[in-house]
Structure 1
Amino acid sequence: MNHALIPLAAAETRIALRSPLLCLLTLLTATGRTLATWHEMPNWSVATVDTATSTLLVGAAVMLAANLATLRDRRADAVELTGPLPVRPQTRTLAVLLAYPPVAMVYAAIAMGVQLAGMLVGSRPIGHFDTRELLSGVLLVGLMAVLGTAVGRWAPNLFAAPVGILLFFWTLMQFPQSWLLPVVPYLKLAIEPVRPPAWHLVYVTALILVAGTAALLRHSRPLGLVLASVGSAAAVAVATVMTLHSPAAAAAARVGDLRKTTRSVTAGADHCETYDTTRYCAFPSYAGWIPLWRGSVEPVVAAVPTAFRRRLPDVTQRAETGTFDPAVTDRSVLTTTSWGRNGAGQDSRRALAAQMAAAATGFPWGTRHGAGPAGCDASGQARTVVALWLIGQTEEPLPATSTRMSVRTDGGDLSDREVPTSDLGAVRYGQAELAYARRLMARSEARERIRANWSALTDPATTVDQALPLLRLDRTAASRTPEGTPCD
């Protein structure tokens, strides 16, 4: 048996390397995730977990491929042809186990390597890079290859492996926080990155041994194999206990589910740094992005007269879900847990700069909505020009647009309305204000003129026509009549 095993395993390895399904899904995993993350700045605390989870596609491919390799014995007349051969079914099963898991693990490592290399392009990574998370993705693929082989022996049916894959994905969706899964897509705590230690890798390795011995036990049960299966099961039990009772797992349990809406969106944003007059508060693992926020906000703050800068809000990071604490949101502009790169950074910089510009000129900002959810119109107001000019200190301001959406009226009914969407939030303005702001951006003396007349220019009652002499601009365009509720 040993003499036949080596060439048989080598043949199975060559077949596995050329598997169209495995090659295709590896390519899709690498390219799909690279494209999906190309415009997002990586946080390793999250990215390593997501990268490991992405190998599920490679695992599904190898589970099917290993299952089909095992089912060769069940094809038409295969039993009659292979029965008289000296190579027994157990040897053929062992050959598949020696070939498909290592090949798939190499493919998974390549797919993850391509993803990680793509995340380094034009980025400023933050967070904790944990190789154990990546190893869990590699072991996951190995486990699914072994499971495909075991299913092929114990349930020799073409439908068994696809059903097993569906159950595998269903389990991940239903119990995303369970450390009894081979890969845990959640808790991927970007805010408080707490994950159990290497015991989980021991647990997954033991699962591979259990599934492998189960596949070999289908046809014969020698004492050594039985003892190996018992030892593997014991290793699973020990690793399970050590994982669930490790200090890191206990800390993760205390953190709780960050998706709960009772949690404040800014809870945990307690790493604060103050530069000049602006305070920046981030979740600890995001502190490395504070320089990016400063690069967006400081040009706006520097353009505001010194006497007015201390009235400007802080910059505070927020989670995607939760409740808004007025004690924080009333004195802070909010930034999220994402930041653009490779061309998308301009949108992130513009969005943060626009909030500060809105706050400086008296417009609603952050979670505030002037004139309710339907927004307001700032056409013809001098402060609109100033706000757009302030945004232009960081990025080129954009024209205002509108989106049709359902908003709740004062009576509580839903009504379809055109809601303005602009750099200033739910604030509508026209081409005239934008044109004047762009003319100011091209003039070196604009900053001096705006600072000298700041109070008048940011007064909602001051019109664009009244501001033109103060800004030393000629009247080249007329502001349109405000639509809907004027901003006050």
Structure 2
Amino acid sequence: MSRPLFALVVAETRIALRSPLLWLLTLLTVTGRTVSTWHEMPDWSVEAVDTATSALVIGAGAMLAANLAILRDRRADALELTDPLPVRAQTRTLAVLVAYPLVAMAYAAMAMGMQMAGLLVNSRPVGHFDVRELPAGVLPVALMAVLGAAVGRWAPNLFAAPVCILLFFWTLVQFPRSWLLPMVPYPKLAIDPVRPPAWHLLYAAALILAVGTAALLRHGSRHPGLVLSGAGSAAAVVVALTLTLNSPAAAAAARTEDLRQSTRSVTAGADHCERLQTTRYCAFPSYAGWIPLWRDAVGPVVAAVPTAFRHRLPGITQRAGTGTFDPTVTSRNILTTMSWGRNGAERDSRRALAAQMAAAATGFPRGTQRGAGPSGCDARGRARTVVALWLIGQTEEPLPATSTRSAVRTDSGKPTEREVPASDLGAVDYGPAELAYARQLLTQPGARERIRANWTALTAPATTLDEALPLLNLNRSAASETPKGTPCE
């Protein structure tokens, strides 16, 4: 590197490091991603891709900053100042092509590192972490910076770079599964997704070299090395893309497309099973690390149920976000999702899973409340409602029932919106009296023994709250309300 070029690279690097576009977008990226993921336990199969994709926001700033650096030559009187200098325009372009991609990659790497550190706070990550996703996020940022410089040379207009940014992101949105892109933003499947091979990194690097060469060719092709660089980079793009598209990973991605079909069972592949105490837990293999979290949520509820009745309780099986429900699985299992809370939100996850087990133990319809009908059901004035809420309290404090508007179909088949109950037990309504009695039981010594001794009577659907109070050794302190909806079966 010649001394004038080295001096220009240092000067452009200092300017790039001070660019408000870059550091503001870096701050925005880190803050936005940290806030959006703070309450979700990370799945590396998804989060590594999302973290790498988020760096493209910084790439957009790098494209604009590099473009503005190139356009300095087009400002008023700029040519009169630069023409007498011994440094040619080609050298100035090369300095921008070196400085801005390096600074952009440094900002992107820093942002990704801070995001990864945030994902590790109070978390138990699952999924497959592919370290190649990190350079797969940094290289497109460098490509965007180089593209900004090339656009500045071939289309010296302030609007050209913003248009290129829009086209760049539009392409990512329209073709998220195409390995022709320098960045593949969408994991083929959240459960152990098949991602592009290492050849794809070579493809992105070759694109950087090709676009950078194209920027320099704007000044003429008299230099033999520049011509060879252009031909070599174009050949590298073709070779790397061919190797990528013909790799075993590409064939595996084609084979796993059926996993996204709606005809596949939502629990297909959840075959990592463990029996802890009396409950069977089945998870997707890469999510097995969450089984202890499920056990901590469900275990206290199961332990409160009389031993003679525990064999009737369902197991816990993980489900995917798309697919069909297999009745042979749903009838014997509680289905849990591919998400779990952290940093305070884990209490909601624990409560939701414990509530499903409590509902199953006391005979309430589980999951989507199939037996409750489309509008839910009302469990006011029933003994098993108090027992179910008490069971939830073994894990987390039970909460009052609320309601939500949901689309249902009338008898004539026309869709309409109705108020549907929403509570810890699902689409099951109850009042403050049942919740108050359950909270009293949670503070009383000997409540577990009384509930176990009278389990059959207390969980019978016909047993009223008034009949249960003597069995629970509770005084009448709150009058139960009359059911406002269809009584639960």
- The one-letter code of the counterpart of 1:428 is D
Separation in 2, partners of 1:219, 1:449: 89
State percent identity of aligned pairs: 77
- The one-letter code of the counterpart of 1:80 is E
Name whichever of 166-175 and 124-133 sits farther off.
124-133
- 1:337 Cα deviation from its structure 2 partner: 0.8
Separation in 2, partners of 1:344, 1:30: 21
Q: Which residue of 2 aligns with 1:359?
A: 360
- The one-letter code of the counterpart of 1:79 is L
Alignment of 1:430-441 (within 5 A): 430-441=431-442
Separation in 2, partners of 1:48, 1:178: 18
Q: Which residue of 2 aligns with 1:461?
A: 462
Task: Please state if 1:229 is matched with 2:230.
Answer: yes
- 1:262 Cα deviation from its structure 2 partner: 2.6
Task: Please state if 1:452 is matched with 2:487.
Answer: no
- 1:259 Cα deviation from its structure 2 partner: 4.4
Q: Which residue of 2 aligns with 1:267?
A: 268
Q: Which residue of 2 aligns with 1:147?
A: 147
- 2:188–2:253 contact (8 Å) kept in structure 1: no
- 2:372–2:427 contact (8 Å) kept in structure 1: no
- 2:189–2:260 contact (8 Å) kept in structure 1: no
String of CA shifts for 1:9-63, please: whole Å, max 9, x gaps.
Answer: 1111010000001110000001110111111111112111110000010000000
Q: Which residue of 2 aligns with 1:426?
A: 427
- 1:370–1:426 contact (8 Å) kept in structure 2: no
- 1:90–1:216 contact (8 Å) kept in structure 2: yes
Q: Which residue of 2 aligns with 1:110?
A: 110
- The one-letter code of the counterpart of 1:235 is A
- 1:197 Cα deviation from its structure 2 partner: 2.4
Separation in 2, partners of 1:277, 1:121: 32
Q: Which residue of 2 aligns with 1:73?
A: 73
Task: Please state if 1:135 is matched with 2:126.
Answer: no
Name whichever of 201-210 and 320-329 sits farther off.
320-329
Separation in 1, partners of 2:242, 2:310: 55
Separation in 1, partners of 2:350, 2:70: 55
Q: Which residue of 1 aligns with 2:411?
A: 410
With the length of structure 2 as denominator, give the TM-score of the two structures: 0.97
C-alpha change, 1:257 and 1:16, in structure 2 (3 Å) is farther
Separation in 2, partners of 1:394, 1:105: 46
- 1:375–1:419 contact (8 Å) kept in structure 2: yes
Separation in 1, partners of 2:89, 2:258: 47
Q: Which residue of 2 aligns with 1:338?
A: 339
Alignment of 1:155-304 (within 5 A): 155-221=155-221, 222-256=223-257, 258-304=259-305
- 1:5 Cα deviation from its structure 2 partner: 0.9
- 1:263 Cα deviation from its structure 2 partner: 2.7
- 1:305 Cα deviation from its structure 2 partner: 1.2
- 1:192–1:255 contact (8 Å) kept in structure 2: no
- The one-letter code of the counterpart of 1:141 is V
Name whichever of 376-385 and 279-288 sits farther off.
279-288
Name whichever of 250-259 and 195-204 sits farther off.
250-259
Separation in 1, partners of 2:269, 2:169: 32
- 1:128 Cα deviation from its structure 2 partner: 2.1
- The one-letter code of the counterpart of 1:429 is Y
Q: Which residue of 2 aligns with 1:347?
A: 348
C-alpha change, 1:188 and 1:51, in structure 2 (3 Å) is farther
- 2:33–2:115 contact (8 Å) kept in structure 1: yes
With the length of structure 1 as denominator, give the TM-score of the two structures: 0.97
- The one-letter code of the counterpart of 1:58 is I
Q: Which residue of 1 aligns with 2:58?
A: 58
- The one-letter code of the counterpart of 1:13 is T
Alignment of 1:360-375 (within 5 A): 360-375=361-376
Separation in 2, partners of 1:273, 1:176: 36
Separation in 2, partners of 1:192, 1:81: 57
Separation in 2, partners of 1:457, 1:163: 68
Separation in 2, partners of 1:200, 1:487: 57
Name whichever of 322-331 and 228-237 sits farther off.
322-331
Name whichever of 175-184 and 458-467 sits farther off.
175-184
Aligned-residue Cα RMSD (Å) equals: 1.4
Separation in 2, partners of 1:248, 1:283: 21
String of CA shifts for 1:206-261, please: whole Å, max 9, x gaps.
Answer: 11111111111111212111111111111111111221222222212211165432
Separation in 2, partners of 1:406, 1:40: 28
- 2:383–2:465 contact (8 Å) kept in structure 1: yes
- 1:45–1:188 contact (8 Å) kept in structure 2: no
- 5+ residue gaps, structure 2, are none
- 2:49–2:187 contact (8 Å) kept in structure 1: no
Separation in 1, partners of 2:88, 2:55: 33
- The one-letter code of the counterpart of 1:461 is A
Task: Give the SS at the match of 1:419.
Answer: strand
Separation in 1, partners of 2:407, 2:194: 40
Q: Which residue of 2 aligns with 1:385?
A: 386
- The one-letter code of the counterpart of 2:317 is T
- 1:277–1:310 contact (8 Å) kept in structure 2: yes
- 2:379–2:483 contact (8 Å) kept in structure 1: yes
Separation in 2, partners of 1:332, 1:348: 17
- 1:105–1:139 contact (8 Å) kept in structure 2: yes
Task: Please state if 1:123 is matched with 2:113.
Answer: no
- 1:386 Cα deviation from its structure 2 partner: 0.5
- 1:316–1:332 contact (8 Å) kept in structure 2: yes
Task: Give the SS at the match of 1:370.
Answer: helix
Alignment of 1:316-331 (within 5 A): 316-331=317-332
Separation in 2, partners of 1:264, 1:58: 39
Task: Give the SS at the match of 1:131.
Answer: coil
- 2:265–2:323 contact (8 Å) kept in structure 1: yes
Separation in 2, partners of 1:414, 1:199: 51
- 1:190–1:285 contact (8 Å) kept in structure 2: no
Task: Give the SS at the match of 2:370.
Answer: coil
Q: Which residue of 2 aligns with 1:44?
A: 44
Separation in 2, partners of 1:77, 1:257: 61
Task: Give the SS at the match of 2:7.
Answer: helix
Task: Give the SS at the match of 2:312.
Answer: coil
Task: Give the SS at the match of 2:372.
Answer: coil
Separation in 2, partners of 1:314, 1:184: 37
Separation in 1, partners of 2:187, 2:44: 14
Task: Give the SS at the match of 2:125.
Answer: coil
C-alpha change, 1:158 and 1:259, in structure 2 (3 Å) is farther
Separation in 1, partners of 2:250, 2:286: 18
Task: Give the SS at the match of 1:256.
Answer: helix
- 2:178–2:184 contact (8 Å) kept in structure 1: yes
- 1:59–1:145 contact (8 Å) kept in structure 2: yes
